[in-house]
Structure 1
């Protein structure tokens, strides 16, 4: 009897050791460790989501890294991460890569975002039409006088956060029909540097994600807003009044009258219910959507309140 008990105990211990030495994933929807790759355009809002999630689920550790859009997609394709946050869906070519790898990406829409345009405080040309933006980003309008003969400003300088960013891609896809960015554009390499450049250069126009300037409870966003003007955009070629121009206010994004809109997605390739799945479910839940609401973006599943950016 003692011999049989000893054999059973040894077998049980060996089984436990084998489980502990397993190379398989050990995370759950609310615990463990994962890395996620995030479009750096959305750093303020996703940092808030991660910090709140980890505050609620103290056994969860999410390593969030922020990169240009192209690098985020590369991380997902090479399985360097299994959770990515992007402002677009995967292309058919990218999905074909996952098909070959026998991986199934799942996409969850979490918000409606907008691309914001900012100019120097001394620039009075803070109302632009989509057609005028197309002229700027295609290089046809090279000076502010090309848009307004009475302007006292000089050559236009277009500033992006990164040449490979999602905002630069949005401009190429939506405003220039895949043309190269104009010669009078450059990358500031960070959103902070972009805003500082526009603040110091009266001929500049900056392109950035609206969540960098839309959270009125964020002292950093408020500080940025005090430095620049936010451009109002009209989809009409010949607006009859200023009422036909819209800034990227939350309500105007929701009502689809601000023209430069895009969606925000969490894309997961987890083949199981792990921490990435749990985080995606949290962001899409009531609590996560309230964080998006507060940030100035439009939640995917909640009504919005009117919050202006308050240009002075």
Structure 2
């Protein structure tokens, strides 16, 4: 009788041991297998979602848990070891690098694309251009009563806000003329519904909209931008096309980096190699961003 009572108990114990062993093996990562957490700048979320989908398809033993956040939150989590692989539109500052130097460790940093801070308006608006000087005046609180006097950002701590604050030389957002919402999708919706406002988004939100934002993208247009005198893009009005990004004509281009702070060579390195390699660069090419190295095209002549 005892034998029949013990058999179910032994079976349960073996099942638990097998399950634990399975979880432990899943947690072991190599360059091309395992599970990886990646935190990306929210302005780059659409292109990074595409990159993850292609990467997991090519390497079916991988799982990339992708999430987006504000720039300052991403850096904070990186320094606090809450995440080891992040995607940002800037390098780490000297103060931020000091955290790693104190641990006698240097994260691996790879540039894999060039993004464009893009300005969009409702299609009903007659204006099709804007100058960096006008943008900086609005950021300084001098919006005035003319057309296009309202900048709308995804959130107050986003990378686009940080970039334009640096450009205008201000530490805080003005009380009028600048509004911050919660996401790039919210910006597209707001501009679609509110003429005379200028939305500030990442270019891939416009070039590759998903089903939830396609309606809004179809009702807006991208402004051509003229740079400040003596700086990039000052010779005319340029849209954030890949050609203008490649020719360094668009005034508000910015690099995109993957920062890998894994303590050993693991799946983060594999993902970074994919992003900078031919497959990842082809995904960038289709997204509206400029790839860091343009993939070659093969022509078959018959």
1:260 Cα offset (Å): 0.5
1:113 Cα offset (Å): 0.7
- Asked if 1 retains the 8 angstrom alpha-carbon contact of 2:51 and 2:280, the reply is yes
User: In structure 2, the residue corresponding to 1:124 is in which secondary structure?
Assistant: coil
List alignment gaps of at least 5 residues for structure 2.
Answer: 1-17, 298-302
1:236 Cα offset (Å): 5.2
User: Which of 41, 54, 57 does residue 55 from structure 1 map onto?
Assistant: 57
User: In structure 2, the residue corresponding to 1:213 is in which secondary structure?
Assistant: helix
Alignment of 1:1-312 (within 5 A): 26-144=28-146, 153=147, 156-174=149-167, 176-184=168-176, 185-215=178-208, 223-235=215-227, 244-302=236-294
1:178 Cα offset (Å): 3.2
- Deviations along 1:95-119, one digit per CA (max 9) or x if unpaired, are 0011112332111000011100011
- Asked if 2 retains the 8 angstrom alpha-carbon contact of 1:130 and 1:237, the reply is no
- Asked if 1 retains the 8 angstrom alpha-carbon contact of 2:203 and 2:240, the reply is yes
Structure 1 residues 264 and 168: CA distance shift in structure 2, 3 A = same
Query: C-alpha distance in 2, partners of 1:304/1:127?
Result: 33
- Asked if 2 retains the 8 angstrom alpha-carbon contact of 1:266 and 1:280, the reply is yes
Query: C-alpha distance in 1, partners of 2:50/2:198?
Result: 28
How many residue pairs get aligned? The number is: 273
Of the structure 1 ranges 256-265 and 296-305, higher mean CA displacement relative to structure 2 is found in: 296-305
Q: Give the CA RMSD over aligned residues.
A: 2.6
User: In structure 2, the residue corresponding to 1:244 is in which secondary structure?
Assistant: coil
1:34 Cα offset (Å): 1.7
Structure 1 residues 303 and 127: CA distance shift in structure 2, 3 A = farther
Show the counterpart of 2:7: none
Show the counterpart of 2:6: none
- Asked if 1 retains the 8 angstrom alpha-carbon contact of 2:139 and 2:170, the reply is no
1:182 Cα offset (Å): 2.0
- Asked if 2 retains the 8 angstrom alpha-carbon contact of 1:293 and 1:304, the reply is no
Structure 1 residues 169 and 251: CA distance shift in structure 2, 3 A = same
Structure 1 residues 110 and 235: CA distance shift in structure 2, 3 A = same
1:129 Cα offset (Å): 1.7
- Asked if 2 retains the 8 angstrom alpha-carbon contact of 1:138 and 1:179, the reply is no
Query: C-alpha distance in 1, partners of 2:224/2:172?
Result: 24
1:304 Cα offset (Å): 9.4
Query: C-alpha distance in 2, partners of 1:280/1:221?
Result: 29
- Deviations along 1:245-285, one digit per CA (max 9) or x if unpaired, are 11111111111111001000000011222011100100100
- Asked if 2 retains the 8 angstrom alpha-carbon contact of 1:115 and 1:167, the reply is yes
- Asked if 2 retains the 8 angstrom alpha-carbon contact of 1:211 and 1:296, the reply is yes
Query: C-alpha distance in 2, partners of 1:166/1:253?
Result: 19
1:170 Cα offset (Å): 0.9
Structure 1 residues 221 and 287: CA distance shift in structure 2, 3 A = farther
